[in-house]
Structure 1
Amino acid sequence: MNTKIVETKQELEQAYHVRTVVFVEEQQVPPEEELDEYDEHAIHFIGYIDERPVAASRLRFADSSGKLERICVLKNERGKSYGKMIMQQMEAEIKKQGYKKAKLNAQTHAEEFYKRLGYETVSGEFMDAGIPHVAMVKEL
């Protein structure tokens, strides 16, 4: 998979499409919660297989940390390390921006995936958009 920072309107629309398929259609997150006011100021990432968008995410900076959000891979492309690849690019961007800590809110079903990438759970379970989550952090 080729991952990159979104640079054009078309790439941003493709990233939003992947997120909409995964979160709104598959996981039933309300559209107004999925695409929110933070999108305008975030750094967006997109992953392609043969020019076909299959993964997306966004990155924001808050509290001296990079905050990894909206990480998703289309259902038929999961299990191929694409999530890991987009995470690695996001972490590289956090370091490039001069930050040393990454944080995210993981859906509980994905907690083990993030643990394998070096993230540590730092909260109890909480609900976000009707889905159970935990907060996780990693020193970079």
Structure 2
Amino acid sequence: MIIKQTRNTLSDTYLDALKIRQIVFVKGQGVPQSLEIDENEAHCLHFVLYDDNVKAVATCRILPSKDLTSATLQRMAVLSDYRGQSLGKQLLQQVISFCQEQNFQKITLHAQLTAEGFYRKIGFLPCGDIFEEAGIKHVTMEKGLV
């Protein structure tokens, strides 16, 4: 397993992230393409986890705050055939370590309700009301890094 990261929206790593997101969110959950790829793509750092056969199987991105004190985790996705193998957890732990190295004070995310338990196990706590995003119920969660 290897995790690559990129800010380059022309790189193979970024294109691998988009492929995973297309399968999981657009095809799998019916998220409109117009919402999936947004104006923040070039401002994010994209992470992709590759399996031992160098297949891209999980992804997420972080959007740093303007003052660089926090990051928003977005577009966390694992291909369905690879779920239940702790790959999402490994990817998220790498992202948390990266954010700590950048001296971010916290990470915020919008968790689909079905994934709230996953994030809780890694130390994220809900901090808002349930809301709908792209037709899917979410809750804002955050994890302090200090």
**Structure 1 length normalisation: TM-score?**
0.95
In the TM superposition, residue 7 of structure 1 has moved relative to its aligned partner by 6.5
Structure 1 residue identity aligned to 2:110? N
Corresponding letter in the other structure for 2:94: Q
In structure 2, what is the equivalent of residue 91 of structure 1? 96
1:103: Cα distance to partner? 0.8
Corresponding position: 1:117 with 2:119: no
Structure 1 equivalent of residue 71 of structure 2? 66
Q: Which amino acid aligns with 2:90?
A: M
1:31 corresponds, among 30, 33, 36, to 33
**TM-score, normalised relative to structure 2:** 0.92
What root-mean-square deviation, in Å, do the aligned CA atoms of Structure 1 and Structure 2 show?
1.2
Q: Which runs of 5+ in 1 are unaligned?
A: none
What code does the residue aligned with 1:15 have?
A
> 1-side partners of 2:41 and 2:7: how far apart?
14
- 1:56 maps to what in 2? 59
> Alpha-carbon deviations, 1:66-93, whole Å to 9, x = none?
1110000001100100111111111111
Greater alpha carbon shift after TM alignment, 60-69 vs 95-104: 60-69
SS at match of 2:38: coil
Question: Between the two proteins, what is the percent identity of the paired residues?
Answer: 37
- Select which of 8, 17, 20 maps to 1:18: 20
Q: 2: CA distance between counterparts of 1:57 and 1:137?
A: 16
Tell me the distance in 1 between the aligned counterparts of 2:73 and 2:58.
14
- Which shifted more, 1-10 or 118-127? 1-10
Q: Could you list the runs of 4 or more consecutive aligned residues of structure 1 that deviate by over 6 angstroms after TM superposition?
A: none
Identify the residue that residue 140 of structure 2 maps to in structure 1.
135
